[in-house]
Every structure is written in C-alpha cells, then in structure tokens.
Chain A
Amino acid sequence: AQSVTQPDIHITVSEGASLELRCNYSYGATPYLFWYVQSPGQGLQLLLKYFSGDTLVQGIKGFEAEFKRSQSSFNLRKPSVHWSDAAEYFCAVGPLNRDDKIIFGKGTRLHILP
C-alpha cells in the first residue's frame, strides 16, 4: 500500500542550528515528492518538489531536500534555521496517474529555541 511516514512528530532545534526532517515513502514506483509547510492557522505552502533528474532539490526559504531511491527517503534540510521556520512540515507523494491522489504524511512540528 502507498504510504508516507514522517517518523518525528515534534522536533526542537536552536535558532541558527541545522535541521533535517525525515520522510520515508512506500510506493510501487518512484513517485513525485513534495514538501509543504503550514504556519499556524494557515493553509499549506509548497516548499519544493521532486519529479526527476537531480536528486538534490532546492526550494524556497533556503530549504533543500534529497531524494534517495535506495532508502525510499526524501529528507528536508536547512543549514541554519530561523525563528520564523517554526511551523508544521508535511511530506507528500504525488500520484503517477490521474486516478490516484496525493498522499500526505502526518506532519512534523518544528519548534525553534531562541
């Protein structure tokens, strides 16, 4: 069955520290992969997406993610977090055909220590 796992429900890092949020997926083939961010009371904003090609993807707000086929992972990274990065982050796998739907992980809430 298709699924997305974000193993960490909460993560706390200090401002200025590096960040890595984990995402693992189970899919019949290499899916399309997304990371979204949701600030409190807001909708989801697309950070970055991977369709094919270079496995290191650059996104907005200084985020990047690396697709590792052998590990079925698509981890999100940022070298130095800012207090404004505190939010909930969702990994998602996109459908390979029109009849399927996008599947979201449960999310990882990021807390930033001053």
Chain B
Amino acid sequence: KAGVTQTPRYLIKTRGQQVTLSCSPISGHRSVSWYQQTPGQGLQFLFEYFSETQRNKGNFPGRFSGRQFSNSRSEMNVSTLELGDSALYLCASSLGEGAGTDTQYFGPGTRLTVL
C-alpha cells in the first residue's frame, strides 16, 4: 500500500504571497491531519479533516485554511505569508474511526521557506 504523499516537497515563497500544499492519504484512510513543525515550537496541530468536514482545529490564525475532497485528498492553504510561516508542514492520515486506536501515518512533509 502506498504511503502518505505530499506535494510539493519544497517551496520558496515571498512575504504576502499565498501557498497551497497537497496531501494524498493512504488508500482507505478518511482522516487527514495537518501539522506545522518548527525548531522553536515543535509539532503544532493545525486541523483535521474527516469525510470532507473539519473535525478539529488548532490555534492558528484564519490565514491557515484547509479542505478535503471526496477522495480524501486534502489541501491546506496559507494566505498572506509571513516570515514566521517558514516551517515543515506535515500531513498525517488515519482511518478516522476515532479515539487513540486510530494510528496516524505521516507523509514526508513540505518544507516551506518564506523570504
């Protein structure tokens, strides 16, 4: 079974621009979660989507948004980029059946650099 894939792997943007990142979950997985990872803050939860609905949201400004399609693929969008948005963005997929038995499987991440 193919793992979680994320595209692109690397991105360089300038302040004020917007960016869209894509995540394809493991086949059969219905939940996709997004995380931002930085050296200072570690792994921070952005949001989770399940069956095209946002099920959970972290403490990020409204510039960060996401969506999930009927095939469970997910995209996240960051508008009006700031220097502090430079990070590794990780996507994780799971069956989405709830609770801790729902192990998350991570993609390799998208490295975003904002200049």
Contact = CB atoms under 8 A, between A and B. Distances in A.
A104 B105 CA distance: 14
Nearest to A42: B108
Interface stretch (A14-22, A45-53, A60-68, A69-77): A45-53
Interface centre among B4, B48, B99, B103 (most CB of A within 10 A): B99
> Range of interface residues on chain B?
20 to 34
A27 B48 CA distance: 21
Contact of A101 (B4, B48, B109, B111): B48
A43 B42 contact: no
A7 B6 CA distance: 31
Given A43-B108, A44-B106, A101-B45, A95 B90 contact: no
Nearest to B105: A46
Contact of A32 (B6, B55, B101, B105): B101
Contact of B109 (A31, A43, A100): A43
B100 interface: yes
Contacts of A90: 43
A100 B98 CA distance: 9
A5 B105 CA distance: 22
Interface in A72-100: 90, 93-100
Interface residues of A, number: 27
B1 to A, nearest CB: 14
Contacts of B90: 43-44
B4 A32 contact: no
Interface string B1-35: 00010100000000000000000000000000100
Contact of B99 (A41, A43, A44, A96): A96
14 contacts: A41-B108, A42-B108, A43-B90, A43-B108, A44-B90, A46-B104, A51-B101, A96-B100, A98-B55, A100-B56, A101-B33, A101-B48, A102-B100, A104-B43
Interface of A: 31-32, 34, 36, 41-46, 49, 51, 90, 93-102, 104-107
